Chains A and B, each alone.
Chain A
């Protein structure tokens, strides 16, 4: 039972139709004030990790300065304060993703750990030889490898739903791959390598008709889209704190309560038990059953501050502004004849991947870094989808609400420099 009182005031909700005051927002992010190689930092690697607003840094610092104690253990004042702060974030997260109850929120180390937890608990107990797990071509390695490991352990078979040349899931092919042996569909909400937003409602509805459970990898979606797990009716949803302006080292796993109740524990240890003797251990209630050991208390509190900050701006406004940025960037880069965009789905968010004819993405990355611009180059931990496009690497610019059109223009100018150097 979660006992934290929810006395936190709701953050001031911004007007949905008001434009973002990006200059003011940028002042909330101290890291953006620096120069790199003599140029103002242009941080366009947000899909790898986002920068942190001062309120997040302060929340972590304040926790250690004022409230630090272990949680769910002591009767003393600090322990009560730390427990209360930690459990309040569970409620913040519940509301952030539209879960029915805070008990459906499990704090883990990363989105990756959330997927591994499901594979090793739900998967190990529910999946057997000959069963099938269905993923898509555009998954991040963290939504591929845990299922491969589960298949090796159980004799289950991994199936992969294909994508088209624009980087969109081919829905009728996906539907054909579903069968009565399909036990889990694991799919990303937004592709980290392509920016594609998947049609989750259709994907989940089709899977459920075949009796399969659905895990959604929301690592890229949480910073960019309003998430409503009840409306989606997904069975599992994971995301990571550090991509949504919170600290590293914290991930969130959502699972429907009845699934969490049935699932065996993941790791054994303190916190996840009710009583222990050498003969028998009674496990704690959900979600604590899945939170063995002292968790990343400061990190969870930092995540809470990050979600309050995002709520204060409003995800609708964030999504609308980032969409403008993506449009502007798409036009700016598409205007360079040597540039080919990778990932041209109709529904995209905040990611622009590209290659430059005859120039390796690593060289592109180094040249634009000299102009103070941070982009990602490589396979983005999604080698199969890069292979699908016949490539070994791409360059990727990814956006956050603190980015500006001027920064995108700086990237386009730096791309012309790239072409000069390798002319």
Chain B
């Protein structure tokens, strides 16, 4: 039997109650909107990227406890990281949740993000946890698309 608190760990409940970095960024380098059609959750991710370093990351929107906590922890995790490291973190986080984390001895340390490891036992909720990350990924990819076409 699965324990509910494998999913709703204290850190997740805390970030749901008091989301960090939940605000619109006035002058982002890039932003993207993510939408989960399954549950109607919407999130907008704002990133400030200077010299290939994520210097600011915020989000806005409403969702369930898992998606809110994931957005909050995502912003904390990528802030201060190089874009490359942030992308590696996304890949590893995504791998953990989708059960493709076999080769994850390499790559960055997930740190606090390990708190989401229980989500993969709740398949209906995996998309809640990955929404903010996919949205962040769309934001920085969009920026690169713009850069590459200049």
Contacts and interface: CB of A to CB of B under 8 A. Distances in A.
A366 B6 CA distance: 12
The 4 closest A-B pairs by CB, nearest first: A360-B64, A392-B40, A362-B64, A379-B40
A274 interface: no
A127 B33 CA distance: 38
Interface residues of A, number: 19
Given A386-B40, A392-B41, A362 B4 contact: no
A375 to B, nearest CB: 13
A393 B39 contact: yes
B105 interface: no
B65 interface: yes
Interface of A: 37-38, 359-363, 366-367, 370, 377-379, 383, 386, 392-393, 421-422
B11 to A, nearest CB: 14
Instruction: Tell me what chain B mostly uses at the interface: helix, strand, loop, or mixed.
Output: mixed
Interface in B78-132: 122, 124-125, 128
Interface in B1-52: 1-2, 4, 7-8, 13, 16, 38-42
A366 B7 contact: yes
Contact of B65 (A360, A370, A386, A393): A360
Nearest to A380: B40
B66 interface: yes
26 contacts: A37-B1, A360-B39, A360-B63, A360-B68, A362-B39, A362-B41, A362-B66, A362-B128, A363-B65, A363-B66, A366-B4, A366-B7, A366-B122, A367-B4, A370-B2, A370-B4, A378-B39, A378-B40, A392-B39, A392-B40, A392-B62, A393-B39, A393-B40, A393-B41, A421-B4, A422-B8
B1 A362 contact: no
A36 B26 CA distance: 48
Q: Interface residues of B toward A: which range?
A: 20 to 34
Contacts of B7: 366
Contacts of B8: 363, 421-422
Given A363-B65, A367-B4, A422 B13 contact: yes
Interface of B: 1-2, 4, 7-8, 13, 16, 38-42, 62-66, 68, 122, 124-125, 128
Nearest to B125: A366
Contacts of B122: 366
Nearest to B41: A392
Contacts of B125: 362, 366
A38 B1 contact: yes
A393 B37 CA distance: 11
Given A366-B124, A378-B38, A392-B40, A37 B65 contact: no
Contacts of B64: 360-363
Nearest to B63: A360
Nearest to B13: A422
Contacts of A378: 38-40
A359 B2 CA distance: 21
Contacts of A367: 4
Given A362-B64, A366-B7, 11 more contacts: A360-B39, A361-B64, A362-B66, A370-B2, A377-B39, A379-B39, A386-B40, A392-B39, A392-B42, A421-B8, A422-B13
A31 to B, nearest CB: 19
Contacts of A363: 8, 64-66
Nearest to A383: B40
Most-contacted residue by chain A among B1, B13, B16, B39 (CB, 10 A)? B39
Nearest to B61: A392
Contacts of B65: 359-360, 363, 422
A367 B7 CA distance: 10
Contact of A37 (B2, B40, B128): B2
Contacts of A38: 1
A37 B62 CA distance: 29
Nearest to B17: A422
Contacts of A360: 39, 41, 62-65, 68
Most-contacted residue by chain B among A37, A360, A383 (CB, 10 A)? A360
A421 B7 CA distance: 11
Nearest to A417: B4
